Amino acid sequence: MFEISPTEWTAILLSLRVAVIATLVATPFGIALAWLLARRDFWGKSLVDAVVHLPLVLPPVVTGYLLLLTFGKRGLVGGWLADHLGIVFAFRWTGAALACGVMSFPLLVRPIRLSIEAVDRRLEQAAETLGAAPWRVFATVTLPLALPGVLAGMVLGFAKAIGEFGATITFVSNIPGETQTISSAIYSLIQTPDGDTAAARLVIISVVLAVGALVAAEVFARRATARLHGQ
């Protein structure tokens, strides 16, 4: 029961790699966007907000198909990237990371936005009177004070990314060793006659990873909060 086969290991490691890359690449964008939504008023803000949340409410298969249309080899963006930068997403693990990044983006942005909104603007003002340029106010006051939210967003995004299934399988299919993550491996296993035990192992592993991520988020948040309250 507890012998993990090489194929399963491949799927686990691939899931981890996809989720880590997706989270790390998405985080800077998430912070920038969260800051814009929290601190700036601009034309089309509600629209941007809606688009960010779209992956949360669209059927994942729709998001995956839209990704395929956009980032596929003949897609508008995908074609350009392949021709000019040699970056290919279609049917590659990078595509899985892109799909997971897009799907987890709303979960990543939301806690960051809330924590930036919670930062006392009077402290930012104080920093300004002490000679800090706007970007340094952000780097030395806003971001450190919003850190619990950033970490919470990253962990939530990671947990979502590691379990993502619908958009990933639509966009990059289910190729063992390239795009077969834990979720798509489970999907394949429960469709094969004697795959039940292997599926059960992967199910346990997903549960462990998800619970681990939530515990980590909690620990980070507590430490950061203690730090911020001047303890």
Partner 1 sequence: MLRVDIQKQLGEFSLTASFTSEGRVTGLFGASGSGKTSLINTIAGLVRPDRGTIVIDGETVDDTAAGIHVPTWRRRIGYVFQDARLFPHLDIRQNLDYGRRMNGLTEDPAQHKRVVDLLDIGALLDRRPGKLSGGERQRVALGRALLSKPRLLLLDEPLGALDESRKLEILPYLVRLRDEAGVPMVYVSHDAAELRQLATQIVMLRRGQVTAFGGVKVLTAGG
Segment 71-110, which members bind partner 1 (CB under 8 A)?
Answer: none
Q: Does 117 bind partner 1 (CB under 8 A)?
A: no
Quick one: which segment of 12-20, 53-61, 70-78, 133-141 binds partner 1 (CB under 8 A)?
A: 133-141
Q: Of the listed pieces 86-94, 141-149, 173-181, 182-190, which binds partner 1 according to CB under 8 A? A: 141-149
Range in contact with partner 1 (rule: CB under 8 A) among 123-131, 166-174, 178-186, 193-201: 123-131
Burial 122-155 (b: 16+ CB within 10 A, else e): eebeebeeeebeeeebbeebbbebbbbbbbbbbb
Contact with partner 1 (CB under 8 A) among 132, 190, 203, 205: 132
Task: Check binding of 128 to partner 1 (CB under 8 A).
Answer: yes
Q: Tell which positions 143-162 bind partner 1, by CB under 8 A.
A: 144-145
**By C-beta, is 16 or 143 nearer to partner 1?**
143
Nearest approach, Cβ of 143 to partner 1 (angstroms)?
A: 10
User: Is 229 near partner 1 (CB under 8 A)?
Assistant: yes
Distance CA 155, CA 56 (A): 17
Provide the minimum distance between the beta carbon of 120 and partner 1 in the complex, in angstroms, as a whole number.
Answer: 8
Residue 44 makes contact with partner 1 by CB under 8 A: no
Kindly tell me which of 23 and 142 has the beta carbon lying closer to partner 1. 142
The verdict on 16 binding partner 1 (CB under 8 A) reads no
139 near partner 1, judged by CB under 8 A: no
Of 25, 51, 126, 208, the residue at the interface with partner 1 (CB under 8 A) is 126
Q: What distance in Å separates the CA atoms of residue 220 and residue 155, rounded to the nearest whole number?
A: 9
Residues forming contacts to partner 1 in the complex (CB under 8 A) are: 120, 122-123, 125-134, 136-137, 140-141, 144-145, 227-231
